[in-house]
Structure 1
Amino acid sequence: MQAAGGNGDAAEAAGAARAGFFCRLFDARGNAQAISQCSLAACQPARDTLAWVDLCDPSDEQVDAVWAAWKLPQAARPFLDGGSVPEVGQNEAFFWVRAVVAGGGDNKDRINGVVLVCVAGADRVVTFRREPVAFLEDMRTQQPGRVGVLGAESFVATVLDRLLGSYFKAIDEHELAIERLEVSILGKGACDALKELQRLRRWASRLRRMLAPHRVVFGAMSRPDFRPDEGREADRHFNALNMRFERALDMVENARDQVLGSFELFSNQTALRTNQAMRVLTFVTVVTGLMATIVGALGMNFGAGLFDSGDAGFYAALAGLVAMGLGAFVLGRRQHWF
């Protein structure tokens, strides 16, 4: 293992990290050595060591310097800013992967994606993104463990596994939002639930559109002809990664079904409230119709003695109508008609 070090290199590495360049050399004993950009060409990982360069929104000069120092394949260079469609490629010594990390973003109505590119081979890995990625920032600061014993393929599998973890986290947040919405629907907030249902539906559909194209990547990496010289360890990691992807895709599909289930609950609650309102209106219509019939009968022009009762008769009839209305209300409440 050859690497330039010293306090000057450490200070330069720290400054480069702030500028978008981060490099660590891991060994099998759990040690991690900071490598500066100027010393990158001298960093030649040996057995049981692994070098990792992380580029966060670097300049073109920084990217060109990394490519030249490690003699990375030029075919992988267009992957860095070549769009957001997940893809995978390889040659004899290296392979490169473009994937999309699920991120929350500042807008709660829309889930954002961050494009992540990994270039790996010969015990060295380069990760590239234009925006911060939470799990990569964690990997920069956490204790390395025995990362040096991992090959480049296994390290990339670890990164992609954390990438899938961002989708699982997004699904958990979606399920929590669904639970809160259903509680609101069953309570007094059913009238305000339609906009939230629309938001969650768009959210789940976008999450699926972000995750589904990765089938090409994880399917290709799990085939036997992908990196056949790296042994069964890499195959095992890539196969497990493909299974985890399929599980994530199933959970995203289930998230969309949950929105449909919540909409059915909203529709049933709306219909129930409508039925309750119609029952009240029907009850009021029957009572007022009966009162109108009585009032109409009292207004008939016959010479009956009842109609000669004067003010007393009027107030007695009025009190009787009020008593009838109150009695009907009490009866309806006891019978749970409304």
Structure 2
Amino acid sequence: MNRDDAHPLEDGDDKAVRVLLFDAHGEDRRVDPRDLDLSRLGEHELAWIDIRAEGPRDTAEAMRTLGLDAPDIAPLFDAKADPLLLHQDGFAARAIVACWNAANDTVTGVPWLLVVGRNAVVTAHKDALPFLDALAGNHDSGSRVGELDADSFAITLLDRMLTAYYDALDEFENRLDQLEVDILEDRVHGRHVPHLRRLRRAVSMFRRLLSSHRDLFDALRRPDFRPESDDKIDARYRAVSARYERAMDTVENARDLVIGSYELLETRLSQRTNETMRVLTFVTVLLGTLAVIAGVLGMNFQATLFDSGSQGFWITVGLMAATVVAALIVARRRGWWS
């Protein structure tokens, strides 16, 4: 990556570009993009250039304006193309970070590009990326990041992207836990099914977004990727690839959790149905008992009770009422009636 003065930055362009210069022998500082000169960076300095651009043309133009000799990144904007491009000084990669929307239980993917050079790392994206904003906003000016090479800092960014996936999955699981608490309430309803449907769709999106990085992280741990790098850098690439595999396992576990929540809902609905049938059975038996009493009293034979008039009628009604009360007490003690 070399300086090219043929394309000075126009007014306002620097609002979409932020440059953070890491200096291991001094303080890290923000640099005006117009003042960036990569050819003057020392071994103890590393430049991180973050670009907000609409598409491949705007991104490439911004990189040329900044004096970055980067590979043709246009193929990386094709979702079906290889997510990794190698060039003489480094590589360029396409990645997607997942963002959890708690308002409607949905997951969206925000694509971004990572371009690694000899002494600079470029990130380019259209939409805001919270994990990059957090890195830029919370950075300690007295850090020793400048001692890292571009490959190590790129590994740091990929690792932070995976952390963003873990954070989004944590929020997803918290939402699922809350839903399970609602399912375990005394009154369970079928209204939880649409929520589970959205969560099932969300975990499928998590898996689809994360699995799109398989080719990228598989390439990072192969021996033919950056063969000129030392063993320490190779170990870091393998470590971030292993963390990617653990993230995939976490997504699979989240999918099992959704299935488990659905089974919990199904069990609770079955339990409610059983309770309803038990109450109906109890009421049927009780009404049947009263019908038997009324039927016996309506039989066509002479008995003293039938000559008692109104008193006999109220005695019969009281007997039936006592039967109902006794049945309810027994049902309550045995849990037949809640």
Asked if TM exceeds 0.5, the reply is: yes
1:125 aligns with 2:124: no
Q: Distance in 2 between matches of 1:20 and 1:58?
A: 10
1:167 aligned to 159, 165, 179, which one? 165
Shift of 1:329: 0.8
Q: Distance in 2 between matches of 1:21 and 1:266?
A: 49
Provide the secondary structure at the position in 2 that maps to 1:104: strand
Q: Which residue of 2 aligns with 1:287?
A: 286
Code of the aligned partner of 1:163? M
Provide the secondary structure at the position in 1 that maps to 2:292: helix
Q: Is the contact made by 1:25 and 1:51 (CA closer than 8 Å) also made in structure 2? A: yes
Code of the aligned partner of 2:165? Y
Residues 273, 284 of structure 1: alpha-carbon distance in 2 compared, 3 angstrom cutoff: same
Provide the secondary structure at the position in 1 that maps to 2:113: strand
Residues 42, 200 of structure 1: alpha-carbon distance in 2 compared, 3 angstrom cutoff: closer
Shift of 1:45: 2.4
Residues 86, 202 of structure 1: alpha-carbon distance in 2 compared, 3 angstrom cutoff: farther
Provide the secondary structure at the position in 2 that maps to 1:102: strand
Shift of 1:275: 1.2
Shift of 1:171: 1.1
Shift of 1:61: 5.5
Q: Which residue of 1 aligns with 2:317?
A: 318
Provide the secondary structure at the position in 1 that maps to 2:20: strand
Q: Which residue of 2 aligns with 1:224?
A: 223
Give a deviation string over 1:130-153, Cα, whole Å, max 9, x none. Answer: 001112112222215111111111
Greater shift in the superposed pair: 198-207 or 155-164: 198-207
2:63 aligned to 63, 66, 79, which one? 66
Q: Which residue of 2 aligns with 1:6?
A: none
Residues 13, 105 of structure 1: alpha-carbon distance in 2 compared, 3 angstrom cutoff: farther
Superposition CA RMSD, Å = 2.5
TM-score, normalised via structure 2 length: 0.89
Q: Distance in 1 between matches of 2:247 and 2:11?
A: 36
Q: Which residue of 2 aligns with 1:147?
A: 145
Shift of 1:120: 0.6
Q: Is the contact made by 1:13 and 1:35 (CA closer than 8 Å) also made in structure 2? A: no
Greater shift in the superposed pair: 318-327 or 58-67: 58-67
Code of the aligned partner of 1:151? D
Q: Distance in 2 between matches of 1:106 and 1:56?
A: 25
Q: Distance in 2 between matches of 1:42 and 1:290?
A: 95
Shift of 1:95: 0.2
Q: Return the structure number with greater helix share.
A: 1
1:114 aligns with 2:110: yes
Q: Distance in 2 between matches of 1:292 and 1:244?
A: 71
Give a deviation string over 1:182-220, Cα, whole Å, max 9, x none. Answer: 211111352132222112111111111110121111110
1:100 aligned to 96, 99, 102, which one? 96
Greater shift in the superposed pair: 187-196 or 218-227: 187-196
Residues 269, 106 of structure 1: alpha-carbon distance in 2 compared, 3 angstrom cutoff: closer
Q: Distance in 1 between matches of 2:82 and 2:286?
A: 68
Count of residues paired in the alignment? 328
Shift of 1:108: 2.4
Provide the secondary structure at the position in 2 that maps to 1:190: coil
Code of the aligned partner of 2:115? V
Give a deviation string over 1:39-67, Cα, whole Å, max 9, x none. Answer: 33565423121111100236855741423
Q: Is the contact made by 1:13 and 1:23 (CA closer than 8 Å) also made in structure 2? A: no
Shift of 1:25: 2.2
Q: Distance in 1 between matches of 2:150 and 2:65?
A: 19
Structure 2: tracts of 5 or more residues without a match = 4-8
Structure 1: tracts of 5 or more residues without a match = 4-11
Q: Distance in 1 between matches of 2:152 and 2:232?
A: 8
Q: Distance in 2 between matches of 1:48 and 1:13?
A: 30
1:20 aligns with 2:20: no
Residues 48, 41 of structure 1: alpha-carbon distance in 2 compared, 3 angstrom cutoff: closer
Deviant stretches of 4+, over 6 Å: none
Residues 278, 143 of structure 1: alpha-carbon distance in 2 compared, 3 angstrom cutoff: same
